[in-house]
């Protein structure tokens, strides 16, 4: 019937996929890195958003978008673009986990009355990366820029606005808004009082439009959908729904699941985000995932994670009693910011490299299973776990994950699911505008090609390994999971 495009503007590059409207099959794609600034040309947390437009133009070169009827935009989360009353950038965009804002996060938590007050207000507790925290940093560190700030956009909002020719109407979606720290997923409304608390004065915010709504149409007739953040776009591209969770294995880890309601967590362990379909994405993060594997590989003198996995497979479930609590950088789940890792269960027979290698994999996965249990404890159903990241391909991960998570594990083939999710959103908005799709039901695209791993007969063994980990955690950090 037609073709649509999905654009993913990540922290480092722009990727564009062009997909069949009906099936989601990727027909062609483009890629371009963001222009690299000259050495000393600014902090890595300060980026001129024009760089995103330049790489977008390069990625779309060669007639890539010829015949495309609609475009969806996914972009890095937590990027804050402060604009003046004329719509010009007041300063470069503040992006990423900006460490400069750590003190500002603590200030904001105190200013509203603690972690519980923030969880109740917006479903999350301020962190250095969040736009609300960056506003407080701006007000304290660059007051002249803060005073000029009249309008607030995030990366996908700004890109959609630019693609539409900077119209008077500025829009965002529930997913992007839910990560700001000044929009409540529970009420579906902005919290202008929190803008004022952080920035010192009010600012204009974009209109939050529905998942299947169009942000507008270009003069050439190209429909632009609402857009969303990378996390929400990737979940939409994977096709996850109720009963599904996603575990991402980066240096740190995250666990998110689809849920019909916004969750309020007084402890702050759950961040309550909205998804790209009208549902919710509660997220629990850990500070230590693949970094625990890399540290163990270095300790054992191994050159890479493949070697660590191969060594770990020579051990057996339970690692001969060795348990690694992988809290190498402190930890968020449980909330132990100043702790260190723990290696327990040392006996003469367990002091072998293969057992330590296995303990590293089991420790990482058990810590992520703890994060899954935080969600399960709040009534979130988890029947399938999608495992993302290069480490998901390692045999030691695939051997242990299903039994430790107590669920079917799906390992999708590598793809740019955020760009695919953006394209699926564009197809939805296009179908609704043409009257061929229901605004409550997204297009049924083919799912991601994936390996499916079952716990099978290993489930009881895996749960015994989990219990061994939990026992050591409770002995070392009693009551750490009590809210």
Residue whose structure tokens are 């998570």? 405
From the CA atom positions of the chain, what is the Rg in Å?
23
Report residue 467 as tokens: 């219990």
**Beta-carbon contacts of residue 158 (< 8 Å; ≥ 6 apart):** 49, 52, 81, 93
Residue 101 and residue 105: Cα distance in Å, rounded? 6
Residue whose structure tokens are 């009827």? 69
Contact 370, 481 (CB under 8 A): yes
Residue 340 and residue 250: Cα distance in Å, rounded? 19
Residue whose structure tokens are 């083939």? 413
Q: Per-residue confidence at 44, pLDDT binned at 50, 70, 90?
A: low
Smallest CA-to-CA distance from 412 within 437, 393, 434 is with 393
Smallest CA-to-CA distance from 119 within 265, 256, 261, 260 is with 265
Q: How many CA atoms lie within 13 A of 123 on its CB side?
A: 27
Above 60 in pLDDT, residue 39? no
pLDDT tens-place string over residues 434-477: 999 999 999 999 888 899 999 999 999 999 999 999 999 999 99
Task: Please give the average per-residue pLDDT across 14-24, as a whole number.
Answer: 97
Residue 75 and residue 209: Cα distance in Å, rounded? 17
Q: Per-residue confidence at 96, pLDDT binned at 50, 70, 90?
A: confident
DSSP secondary structure, 341-357, as one string:
-EEE---GGG-SHHHHH
Residue 474 and residue 477: Cα distance in Å, rounded? 5
What is the rounded average pLDDT for all residues in the chain? Answer: 95
pLDDT tens-place string over residues 266-320: 888 899 999 999 999 999 999 999 999 999 999 999 999 999 999 999 999 999 9
pLDDT at 268: 82
pLDDT tens-place string over residues 367-420: 999 999 999 999 999 999 999 999 999 999 999 999 999 999 999 999 999 999
52-66, 259-273, 313-327, range with the lowest pLDDT: 259-273
Smallest CA-to-CA distance from 108 within 157, 180, 35, 175 is with 180
Report residue 43 as tokens: 């902090």
Residue 71 and residue 9: Cα distance in Å, rounded? 13
435 backbone φψ class: left, alpha, beta (φ>0; ψ -120 to 50): left
CA angle, 197 then 203 then 204, to 5°:
140
Quote the percentage of the chain above a pLDDT of 70: 98
DSSP secondary structure, 243-263, as one string:
EEEEEEESSSEEEEE-BSS--
Residue 339 and residue 323: Cα distance in Å, rounded? 16
Contact 336, 330 (CB under 8 A): yes
Residue 97 and residue 441: Cα distance in Å, rounded? 34
**Beta-carbon contacts of residue 259 (< 8 Å; ≥ 6 apart):** 242, 279, 280, 281, 282, 375, 379, 380
Q: Per-residue confidence at 264, pLDDT binned at 50, 70, 90?
A: confident
**Beta-carbon contacts of residue 30 (< 8 Å; ≥ 6 apart):** 15, 16, 59, 60, 61, 62, 64
125-129, 171-175, 197-201, range with the lowest pLDDT: 125-129
Decide: helix, strand or coil at residue 85. Answer: coil
Task: Please give the average per-residue pLDDT across 239-248, as a whole number.
Answer: 96
Contact 388, 412 (CB under 8 A): yes
Above 90 in pLDDT, residue 36? no
pLDDT at 198: 98
Residue 354 and residue 350: Cα distance in Å, rounded? 9
pTM as predicted:
0.93
Residue 445 φ/ψ, nearest 5 degrees: -85, 160
Query: Which secondary structure element, helix H or strand E, spans residue 32, and what is its range?
Result: strand 26-33
Q: What is the DSSP letter of 7?
A: E
pLDDT at 448: 84
Above 90 in pLDDT, residue 83? yes
Q: How many CA atoms lie within 13 A of 216 on its CB side?
A: 19
pLDDT at 1: 66
pLDDT at 4: 98
pLDDT tens-place string over residues 118-171: 999 999 999 889 999 999 999 999 999 999 999 999 999 999 999 999 999 999
For residue 179, what are the CA distances in angstroms to 164, 174, 223, 230, 277? Answer: 23, 9, 25, 11, 16
Above 70 in pLDDT, residue 40? no
Contact 213, 161 (CB under 8 A): no
CA dihedral sign, ordered 315, 318, 321, 326: positive
Q: How many CA atoms lie within 13 A of 441 on its CB side?
A: 5
Residue whose structure tokens are 């470069």? 92
């Amino acid at each position: 019937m037609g073709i649509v495009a999905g654009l993913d503007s990540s922290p480092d590059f722009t990727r564009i996929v062009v997909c069949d409207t009906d099936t989601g099959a990727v027909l062609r794609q483009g890629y371009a890195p963001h222009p690299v600034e000259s050495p000393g040309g600014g902090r890595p947390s300060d980026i001129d958003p024009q760089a995103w437009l330049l790489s977008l133009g390069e990625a779309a070169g060669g007639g890539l978008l010829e015949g495309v009827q609609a475009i969806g935009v996914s972009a890095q989360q937590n990027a804050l673009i402060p604009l003046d009353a004329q719509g010009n950038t007041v300063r470069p965009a503040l992006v990423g986990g900006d460490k400069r804002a750590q003190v500002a996060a603590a200030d904001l938590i105190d200013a509203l009355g603690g972690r519980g007050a923030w969880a109740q207000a917006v479903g999350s507790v301020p962190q250095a990366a969040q736009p609300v925290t960056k506003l407080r940093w701006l007000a304290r560190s660059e007051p002249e820029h803060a005073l000029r700030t009249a309008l607030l956009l995030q990366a996908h909002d700004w890109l959609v606005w630019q693609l539409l020719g900077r119209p008077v109407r500025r829009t965002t979606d529930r997913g992007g808004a839910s990560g700001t720290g000044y929009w409540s997923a529970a009420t579906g409304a902005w919290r202008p009082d929190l803008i004022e608390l952080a920035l010192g004065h009010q600012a204009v915010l974009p209109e939050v439009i529905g998942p299947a709504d169009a942000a507008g149409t270009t003069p050439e007739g190209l429909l632009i959908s609402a857009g969303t953040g990378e996390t929400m776009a990737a979940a939409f591209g994977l096709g996850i729904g109720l009963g599904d969770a996603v575990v991402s294995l980066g240096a740190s880890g995250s666990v998110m699941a689809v849920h019909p309601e916004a969750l309020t967590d007084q402890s702050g362990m759950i961040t309550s985000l909205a998804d790209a379909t009208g549902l919710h994405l509660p997220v629990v993060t850990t500070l230590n995932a693949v970094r625990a594997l890399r540290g163990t590989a270095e300790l054992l003198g191994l050159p890479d994670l493949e070697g660590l996995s191969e060594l770990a497979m020579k051990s057996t479930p339970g690692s001969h009693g060795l348990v690694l609590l992988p809290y190498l950088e402190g930890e968020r789940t449980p909330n132990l910011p100043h702790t260190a890792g723990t290696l327990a269960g040392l006996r003469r027979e367990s002091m072998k490299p293969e057992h330590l290698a296995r303990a590293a994999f089991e420790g990482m996965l058990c810590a992520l299973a703890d994060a899954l249990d935080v969600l399960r404890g709040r009534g979130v159903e988890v029947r399938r776990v999608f495992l993302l990241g290069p480490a998901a391909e390692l045999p030691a991960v695939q051997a242990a994950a299903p039994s430790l998570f107590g669920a079917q594990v799906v390992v999708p083939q590598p793809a740019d699911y955020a760009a695919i999710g953006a394209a699926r959103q564009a197809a939805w908005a296009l179908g609704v505008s043409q009257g061929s799709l229901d605004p409550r039901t997204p297009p049924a695209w083919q799912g991601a090609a994936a390996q499916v791993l079952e716990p099978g007969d290993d489930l009881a063994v895996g749960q015994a390994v989990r219990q061994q980990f939990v026992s050591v955690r409770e002995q070392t950090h009693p009551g750490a999971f009590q809210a």
